């Protein structure tokens, strides 16, 4: 059942995720054509600022979802109702904190944006972004129940379908009105519609007590302890992943930020698929750890890490090799960034992707408080490195700083709290595991790049198809050479054959 839920969640997530990627690319092209690169940069900047304000969430969602695993597993709806009431009240407080923080930050917005000469009132646009964020916290708490119950596919179908539908509406609005105000307002309508629908589904699917008793003091104490650790993780995640746009805006301007945001969209498209897959299996990992514990789940970890490594290599290979031809065909030559910028982006992307399975097991096991200081150090290193390097080598320096700081989790948190703490494995085993995977990734991606540059085609579409094919086929061949006799490869081969046979019987 656990494997079945994971597979269902992954399939739905990937299929809908690919549709959303296409919709986002189409929408961004029309945004650039109608509103220009500067407003695209402003849109990216405000998205990052909202991420900064969302640090106020403190990790309540992750902590509550962790505590929902057991009562859902035991069908204890009384405890579930108590947790959901606590979650609802907490998110109301968070929404109020975000509103106050947004008002305090408002006078500094023009300076952060570099005092741009744009055709819109940036305070109004900023206000619309903030309203959208506040509404999401007031209405989205019930979706955590579906996440904890391994029903991610329901959320994904609604969320990703909403993105496609409302992106179509946004494109129509951009073409007909060229209004950034209307564009931002449509996002608010989407947030309202999506959350109303999800809340109705949850209300029908789960029988929650109308007036639940307060949560047990021990659970409440444990939640706040985890939140104490998660707060640092939220700060670290924002600083490492969310300050790049702010640094670029302040140091290099909205024009450069607008150019980068196109590559960022490609990265976000890749990361969103990983996030969907990650969310799809996280609840199953939590369920697994409840059943058999951490030490016995190491085999599952190796299998998931193997699959994640393959997807990471292929994804980064496609980004590194094919992003140039994609941007050239999608937006035009003037939007193509320097190769060294793409190298730095690719390095940062790889480090982000390969750590997702480690993060899943750490989060599913409720390891939040123990490594709370790691993200603080990570944040400080990121800010110092990115600010120093951006003024030394320019745009690539921002992403190199991010990559350098991200290594802290790989060198400290994951070996200590996951590999050794959860699985009872040695640091030496961890180091060998990471070094082999990194060497394989470097070999596969660099080989793909060299082969792709051997042939230059005059037709942009054919060049993109060629680059994409090389970026996928070459790494797969190298991975097969190295791993085709491994236990993990054999496991997934048998699983794939089993799924194909099952599908064949259903359609026979």
* Rounded-to-integer distance, Cα 236 and Cα 278, Å: 19
* Rounded-to-integer distance, Cα 402 and Cα 265, Å: 17
Specify the higher pLDDT residue, 243 or 330: 330
Residue 230 has pLDDT above 60, yes or no: yes
pLDDT score of 300: 82
Mean pLDDT of 385-391: 94
Mean pLDDT of 93-110: 91
pLDDT score of 56: 61
Percent share of the chain, pLDDT over 90: 37
Sign of torsion over alpha carbons 58, 59, 61, 65: negative
Specify the higher pLDDT residue, 13 or 476: 476
Closest Cα partner for 174 from 160, 162, 185? Answer: 185
State the pLDDT confidence band at 167, using cuts at 50, 70 and 90: very high
* Rounded-to-integer distance, Cα 390 and Cα 401, Å: 9
Residue 390 has pLDDT above 90, yes or no: yes
The 10 Å Cβ neighbour count of residue 468 is: 17
State the pLDDT confidence band at 357, using cuts at 50, 70 and 90: confident
Mean pLDDT of 127-141: 89
Are 478 and 444 spatial neighbours (Cβ–Cβ below 8 Å)?
yes
C-alpha torsion 14→20→25→29, nearest 10: 180
What's the longest Cα–Cα distance across the chain?
A: 69
- Tell me the pLDDT tens digit for each residue of 197-212: 998 998 888 887 777 7
> Is residue 291 classed exposed, middle or buried when 0-12, 13-18 and 19+ CB atoms within 10 A define those classes?
exposed
Average pLDDT, the chain: 85
Residue 35 has pLDDT above 60, yes or no: yes
- Tell me the pLDDT tens digit for each residue of 332-354: 899 999 999 999 999 999 998 88
pLDDT score of 294: 53
Highest mean pLDDT among 52-61, 375-384, 395-404: 395-404
Specify the higher pLDDT residue, 289 or 440: 440
Closest Cα partner for 209 from 71, 85, 73, 72? Answer: 85
State the pLDDT confidence band at 70, using cuts at 50, 70 and 90: confident
Residue 323 has pLDDT above 70, yes or no: yes
Q: How far, rounded to the nearest angstrom, does the alpha carbon of residue 134 sit from its chain's CA centroid? A: 20
Q: Which two tokens stand for residue 436?
A: 């082999």
Specify the higher pLDDT residue, 398 or 48: 398
Residue 47 has pLDDT above 70, yes or no: yes
Sequence-distant (≥ 6) Cβ neighbours of residue 261 within 8 angstroms: 40, 41, 43, 44, 245
Percent share of the chain, pLDDT over 70: 90
Mean pLDDT of 392-417: 86
Mean pLDDT of 14-32: 85
* Rounded-to-integer distance, Cα 69 and Cα 144, Å: 11
Domain boundaries of the chain, sorted by first residue: 1-251, 293-508
Specify the higher pLDDT residue, 16 or 142: 142
Least confident of 191-195, 295-299, 419-423: 295-299
State the pLDDT confidence band at 137, using cuts at 50, 70 and 90: confident
Mean pLDDT of 100-111: 92
pLDDT score of 314: 94
Closest Cα partner for 357 from 432, 445, 423? Answer: 423
Mean pLDDT of 94-114: 90
pLDDT score of 172: 95
pTM over 0.75: yes
Mean pLDDT of 125-148: 87
């Amino acid at each position: 059942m656990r494997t079945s839920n994971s597979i269902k969640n992954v399939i739905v997530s990937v299929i809908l995720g690919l549709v959303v990627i296409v919709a986002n690319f189409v929408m961004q092209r029309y945004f650039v054509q109608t509103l220009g690169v500067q407003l695209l940069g402003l849109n990216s900047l405000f998205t990052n600022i909202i991420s900064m304000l969302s640090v106020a969430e403190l990790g309540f969602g992750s902590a509550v979802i962790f505590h929902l695993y057991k009562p859902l597993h035991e069908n204890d709806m009384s405890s579930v109702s108590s947790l959901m009431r606590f979650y609802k009240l907490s998110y109301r407080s968070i929404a109020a904190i975000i509103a106050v923080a947004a008002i305090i930050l408002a006078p500094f917005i023009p300076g952060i944006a570099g005092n741009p000469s744009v055709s819109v009132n940036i305070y109004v646009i900023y206000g619309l972004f903030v309203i959208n964020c506040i509404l999401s916290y007031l209405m989205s708490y019930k979706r955590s129940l579906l996440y904890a119950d391994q029903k991610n596919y329901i959320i994904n179908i609604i969320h990703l379908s909403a993105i496609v539908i409302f992106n179509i509406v946004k494109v129509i609005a951009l073409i007909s009105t060229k209004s950034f105000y209307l564009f931002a307002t449509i996002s608010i309508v989407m947030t309202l519609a999506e959350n109303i629908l999800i809340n109705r589904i949850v209300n029908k699917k789960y029988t929650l007590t109308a007036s639940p008793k307060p949560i047990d003091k021990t659970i409440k104490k444990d939640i706040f302890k985890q939140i104490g650790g998660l707060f640092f993780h939220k700060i670290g995640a924002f600083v490492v992943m969310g300050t790049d746009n702010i640094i670029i805006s302040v140091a290099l301007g909205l024009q450069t930020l607008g150019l980068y945001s196109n590559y960022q969209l490609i990265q976000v498209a890749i990361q969103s698929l990983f996030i969907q897959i990650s969310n799809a299996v996280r609840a199953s990992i939590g369920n697994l750890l409840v059943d058999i514990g951490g030490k016995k789940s190491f085999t599952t970890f190796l299998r998931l890490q193997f699959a994640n490594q393959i997807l990471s290599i292929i994804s980064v290979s496609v980004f590194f090799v094919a992003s140039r031809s994609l941007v050239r065909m999608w937006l035009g030559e003037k939007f193509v960034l320097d190769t060294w910028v793409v190298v730095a982006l690719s390095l940062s992307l790889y480090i982000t992707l390969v750590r997702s399975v480690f993060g899943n097991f750490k989060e599913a096991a409720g390891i939040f408080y123990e490594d709370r200081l790691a993200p603080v150090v990570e944040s400080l290193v990121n800010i110092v490195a990115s600010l120093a390097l951006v003024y030394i080598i320019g745009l690539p320096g921002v992403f190199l700083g991010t990559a350098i700081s991200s290594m802290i989790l790989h060198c400290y948190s994951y070996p200590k709290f996951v590999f050794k703490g959860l699985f009872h494995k040695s640091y030496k085993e961890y180091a060998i595991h990471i070094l082999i995977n990194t060497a394989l990734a470097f070999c596969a991606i660099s080989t793909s790049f060299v082969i792709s540059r051997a042939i230059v085609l005059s037709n942009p579409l054919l060049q993109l198809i060629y680059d994409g094919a090389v970026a996928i086929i070459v790494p797969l061949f190298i991975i097969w050479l190295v791993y085709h006799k491994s236990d993990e490869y054999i496991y997934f081969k048998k699983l794939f054959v089993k799924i194909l046979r099952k599908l064949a019987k259903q359609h026979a």
